[in-house]
Structure 1
């Protein structure tokens, strides 16, 4: 039995071309027996639809603070952070990494991160120059210093045509590392 069986995983999906990989990631997590709740940033919805992710996770995808504007019903970021066994952000864009590193809270995902008591795992995904920029390197250093786990970003061909680090790890590798993380 997988060490992910019965685990509650919050999956944050950020605006990156690598967001298409989140569908396979959800599928693999569910197949391993995890309960997956997806939080999709506004910019991520340009790359992958809530319908795809909700179908695979078998849960409505959360996209903002409000559940129902007419009634003022909201998604409780504190409750979400307490519910989860892990917060996995994959892909984690340069923008989101900067927000999290500096405590900015413009989205439901950032609010959940700031209130989460569970382990946080981040899978960066961006173009080569963004990944190698000193600000991004500093944000990753800060996030590690807060106790977050940062997945390696393998080198390879990027969407821009450049070659180098910045790719999001493949979903199979992320799930394998998560299983190892929970197996300890």
Structure 2
């Protein structure tokens, strides 16, 4: 996947950025020295983690001479200040982790959570964005297991640079060649600029499916897993936004670094959403909010033996987005429309009636996307008539496309 961005600023984003450069055991490891040099010249502070296999191809001295910093290789360095929780301090102190070159081995370790050396352990510790530049023989790269490992990592938010097609060290020609230093710098430049796209913006993102109680045991709900809302929140956070994450019950853990508010019913979500609405710039209503709730909640469990039938009277829940649309000032409102037929027509009607800036439409009649699936395919409609369709893709990638549209529209609104 190639990293791309919808707008780019002019200042050098590498200045004072802390980049953790992982170098693994590839014959292309020597290129990492040139990459480190370019990064340092752009003002970045580069810390190199060189694996045991990497040391067979390049020496630590080559890197330390350029970065003017000690190269890390061991989980247990002799220097006491470095010994304590080294993998955590390295990962959490970086703005970006770049593995250049990345062998099939380190990619497999990352995909399956193995942590048997310093680099794999700090990658598992998590923290900053991770970028991988694969380098290997064509047959290794095209192996089904390697492709699955890369897909798995991409679904988790890891970004890949290359590989390219060309002459390989083994004498063959094919895909697997490490992306050249200059191209890698260009791609990372875009990534770092994207990380500040939403700096200073505050988002309210809702997720999950509300529950409307019938009695103390039973409730009315829907099939929302909360995944899309979580991925959208993580994408906004990765671009520098502050996120209030308002969640109904969901099947996945909430994103870290967000301001978490937990609710259960549509009425509770309505109250909390309207409470924080005045302080946010963007609202993304990804939660599946119940349209109706039981008129009467029974305080004791309804017994099957005492009833031959059960009739429920349902009343409409408050429309959160419609209420926001009436009172919005600066806010950019994004809604979701899950439909089974006449999807685009109904979505446009919702967007107009509720005063939305943008609406995301998905066809829930399809079994291969949407509720309960890791994949989705959506159409993004804009208030001004603009439209974008995405291919079927993992929900994390769909969330990236949605956030790209939000960023572009916010940029247009802020243009003189």
Say yes or no: TM over 0.5.
yes
Give the Cα–Cα distance (whole angstroms) in 2 for the partners of residues 53 and 69 of structure 1: 19
How far has the Cα of 1:118 moved from its partner? 0.4
> Deviations for 1:91-148, whole angstroms, at most 9, x for unmatched residues?
0000100001100001100111011210000000001111111111111101101100
Could you list the runs of 5+ residues in structure 2 that have no partner in the other structure? 1-10, 195-416
Mapping 1:150-161, distance limit 5 Å: 150-161=160-171
Q: What is residue 132 of structure 2 aligned with on the other side?
A: 122
CA distance in 2, matches of 1:71, 1:177: 34
What is the TM-score when the length of structure 1 is the normalising length? 0.96
Choose the corresponding residue for 2:44, options 34, 39, 51. 34
Aligned to 1:12: 22
- The Cα shift of 1:75 comes to 5.6
Aligned position for 1:24: 34
Superposition map of 1:5-84 within 5 A: 5-68=15-78, 73-74=83-84, 76-84=86-94
Checking the alignment, whether the CA contact within 8 Å between 1:66 and 1:75 is kept in structure 2 is no
Q: In structure 1, what is the Cα distance between the partners aligned to 2:48 and 2:80?
A: 23
| Displacement over 3 Å in runs of 4+ | 69-75
Which of the numbers 78, 99, 108 marks the counterpart of 2:109?
99
- Pick the aligned partner of 1:143 from 138, 144, 153: 153
Residues 31-61 of structure 1: CA deviation (Å, up to 9, x unaligned): 0100000000000001110000111111110
In the alignment, the residues of structure 2 paired with residue 107 and residue 64 of structure 1 have an alpha-carbon distance, to the nearest angstrom, of 7
Q: Which whole-Å CA distance do the structure 1 matches of 2:137 and 2:151 have between them?
A: 18
RCO higher in structure (CA 8 A, sep ≥6): 1
* Deviations, residues 53-94 of structure 1 (Å, cap 9, x unaligned): 111111110001111189993561111111000000000000
Q: 1:59 and 1:69 mapped to 2: Cα distance?
A: 14
SS at match of 2:12: coil
Residues 121 and 151 of structure 1 are in contact (CA less than 8 Å); yes or no, is this contact kept in structure 2?
A: yes
1:165 to 175, 184, 190: 175
What is the DSSP-based 3-state SS (H/G/I as helix, E as strand, rest coil) of the residue aligned with 2:43?
coil
Hey, what's the Cα distance between the residues in 1 that align with 2:25 and 2:85?
A: 20
Larger radius of gyration, structure 1 or 2?
2
Give yes or no for contact 1:10–1:36 (8 Å, CA) kept in 2.
Answer: yes
Return the TM-score normalized by structure 2.
0.43
Number of positions where the alignment pairs a residue of Structure 1 with one of Structure 2: 184
